[in-house]
Structure 1
Amino acid sequence: MTPQEMLLKHKLSLLQLAEQLQNIRAACKMMGVSRQHYYDIKERFEQAGVSGLHEKERQPPRMPNQTPQDIEERIIEYSLKHPTYGKDRMPLQLRFEGIIISSSSVERIWKRYHLENRFKRLLKLEELHKQQGMILSDEQIQALLEHVGQVPVEHVFSRYPGYLLCQDTFEVGHIKGVGKIYMQAVVDTYGSFGFAKLYTSKMPTTAADILIDRVLPFYMAFDIPIRRMLTDNGGEFCGKGFKHDYELMLQIFGIEHSRIRVGMPQTNGFVERFNRTVLEEFFCVAFRKKWYYSLEELQTDLDTFMWHYNFQRPHSGYRLNGKRPIEVLLDKTTCPKRLTYDKIDAPTNVE
């Protein structure tokens, strides 16, 4: 039920209660509202029925001291004509155009039009040139050439799901009676599909266990091969061949193992950002709402969050652009084999 539906139900309940009790004062006291609020609701109900009880959308106020629309359009036009000018230089130049305005006003106008930085103004300039055939001046062409290298690019090359997976060990904290808690995290760099499992130790066995228990069965179910794993140089990931459980498991399944440079954790940024998301959106909330007595209890709630993360939560990264990780896996144009929801079981406590 949406907040609007709940509010409508509350108003109808107030009218119904007052009619049953035949006492407006008692009904308002029980519902926790004033009698004037009751009469306002009753008047709107008598005039327009149930539709009159819906909340009306309010138009954004027009501030009396806001810059006139024609002046704003002239400022935007001048900003695109000189996209490299900053907010402090713009008022000085606009004086020669007969426009007296402060630098803070220029900044607010830019924000309203989503042109608050030089890069966005250059992108808008390119868009106008592409769509409307806008003729660019020498200054605009020079600005575009100088900033062509600043366009965000993918710093990790990933061609399809399973092409490159990142793995890391994240120390969650300490639970009384259980001890230290570690989370093994695995993220697919193509679509940010994530896996997480909790352990009480930081060993090669635990690093291999999440792959055997969660990751490999998931990808094998859809005939998606895992080509390469990227990890840091921790002892749970690096060792000597057949004497190391994690390295042995990768060799058995034919998965390449890549390591980041020492002191360069940003190279494994996908899983580092995943750790931060799980920390902020799950652990920091869960530990304030509930007292956990066992690792299994915490793992159950973590599985519920991971379902939300992969199947319900839109991601704003440059790879997904508002999509959910499962949508990328279900994309027929990028997957080796079409996936369906029928092959994926949701946790029992997920509605």
Structure 2
Amino acid sequence: MTKEELIASFKYSVLQHARKNKNITYTCRTFNVSRTIYYKWLKRFIKLGYLGLQDKEKAKPQMPNQIKPDKEKIILGYIIEYPTHGPRRIANELNQQDITISEAGVYNVLRRRKLNHRVDRLFYAQDKSDNPVVTERYLREVAKRRPARICSYYPGYLFCQDTFYIGTIKGLGRIYQQAGIDAYASFGFAKVYSDKTAVRAIDLLKTKVLPIYRQFNIPLDRILTDNGKEYTTHWPNGKHGYERFLKENRIRHTKIKPGTPQSKW
């Protein structure tokens, strides 16, 4: 479910709650939403249906000085031949070929195409070239971009849990998602909360994860998390509610180093 779909689903839940309980004040207090916001959502729902609850996409502004398509094609063709050249060099070389274009114009094209970094241009040139040359640098960069793999040998062997910031909803505040996935079965769980605390991290396990594992008589051996405060304490010899919960349920806790999503064996 995308962020937009999640927000629309939340708005619809608020409207459903008010309709079922026939008490708008109670609903607004329960979901921490102002009456003004509630009526705004209701008005859009009546007018447009469920689609009216989805956030409107902001129109992309039309840039009056945007490079014309034919010149953009020339720039993209140039970087296939010379991917290491930057905006200034590209502009100078093209101007010598009587193709008038500024350094800023070249940069804007590269940025819009997400090619403003040399390594991205190298990948682009490699993919678009008729006779690509596999260089050592290209192989190194491919290795860096290769997604990390986490080994798991059976269901319940390793469960990966993390916290994600979804966004902010007017009248409600910040929204977070506790999510987890069985590394062997690729079976996932998720639940939305208004904050990121140990209580929320435990709640996902208590209400969603462990009941499913127990239903199928699958023991959960180990959980992998980062070093977020919702999962562990940063104080030496400190005690933490999440880790205590895992210990009570005989689940090992493994923590990763920042920026390195790999488990320890």
Larger radius of gyration: 1
Q: TM-score normalised to the size of structure 1? A: 0.38
As a proportion of its length, which structure holds more helix?
1
